[in-house]
Amino acid sequence: MITVGGFNTAIDRLIRVDALRCGEINRALDEQVYPGGKGLHVAQTIAALGERVQLVGLVDAAHRNLIAQHLSKRGTLFHGVEIGASIRTCLAVQDASGRITEVLGQGPQLSAAQRDDLLLTFRRCIDESDLLVLSGSLPRGMAETTYAELVAQVHAMGKRCMVDASGKVMRHAWQAQPFLVKPNRDEITELLGRPVDDLAAAADAALELFSRGVTMPVVSMGAMGAIAVDASGVWHASIELTDIRNTVGSGDCLLAGLAVGTVRGMKLEQTLRLGVACGAANAAAEETGYVERKIVERLLPQVRVQRLADAVKRSSAESM
């Protein structure tokens, strides 16, 4: 069983327009609505790949049935912690060129009781899980150290934990030394305080995370692919797509593939290949944060994976 903590559940709206004109009236050509949030994307993609998965997240009365039925159809067990306020709404507007503008809702402010209920629900899942994933932003009212604290608890129970977050939440979580972190180009630039704009810089960044105790850091670089490091070395995987429809959620699907490869005991190069194929399958589809297994399997042979270098794990003192 893989447990995903995707606490800040959302309703995703994807609106297509001919052209997005700020300050003017824009008429939608098409609109689609899905249950969303990074953790939900990860969980439903794990299920699509054939692994048992459960998701812990917020839900409100208005959307409980929608989210539960959606995830049930996709083979995901949902532990929804209900709150009185509305969960957040995230809006993506795509113009005719394929460019996407996102507006991410802030979401509800949690009370201490609601926060504790959410965390207790997640902690109850640790013992039965082979792997745990913490993905996305935290609801307001939760401390920015929350992921770090949960990583420590997962470690204490002899389990592995993956983290995909940004800003101070990622900074604290990284220092807790989870099994895997997956920052994208912007997130790793913020985390390390230096530009990471090419593959060489991404490899250096991943090596630094590795040297500081992250067992398998992965840096996603958009169209350039992804860099990953473990004791076997530094690896790069990429794929060329001719038909890109919606890149939003591709990083979440990448993480799902990494999680599945990990619980299946795959080597890093195989795990990274699966992750990149999942990210590409999302980008080639219309729905945000979901893949079809048959599409992933079709794309797998097209993913190019190469070993770039050795990974020498330095001590914390040497890496400072």
Q: What is the domain partition of the chain in residue ranges?
A: 2-19+30-108+120-319
Q: Is 281:253 a contact under the CB 8 Å cutoff?
A: yes
Under the banding of pLDDT at 50, 70 and 90, the label for residue 278 is: very high
Please give the structure tokens belonging to residue 192: 């390390």
| Residue 200, burial from CB neighbour count under 10 angstroms (0-12, 13-18, 19+) | exposed
Phi, psi of 255 (to 5 degrees): -60, -40
Q: Give the global pTM.
A: 0.92
Question: pLDDT tens digits for 51-93?
Answer: 999 999 999 999 999 999 999 999 999 999 999 999 999 998 9
Q: State how beta strands 218-220 and 180-181 pair.
A: unpaired
Helix (H, G, I), strand (E, B) or coil at 300: helix
Residue with tokens 């297994």: 293
Q: What are phi and psi of 205, to 5 degrees?
A: -65, -45
Instruction: Provide the CB-side half-sphere exposure for 99 (13 A, CA).
Output: 7
Q: Are 7 and 138 in contact (CB under 8 A)?
A: yes
- For position 244, what pLDDT does the model report? 83
Band of the pLDDT at 318, cuts 50, 70, 90? very low
Report how far residue 23's alpha carbon sits from residue 139's, in angstroms, rounded to the nearest whole number. 30
Token pair in block for residue 199 = 């593959």
Rounded mean pLDDT of 245-255? 91
Can you identify the CATH homologous superfamily of domain 2-19+30-108+120-319? Ribokinase (3.40.1190.20)
Distance CA 112, CA 133 (A): 23
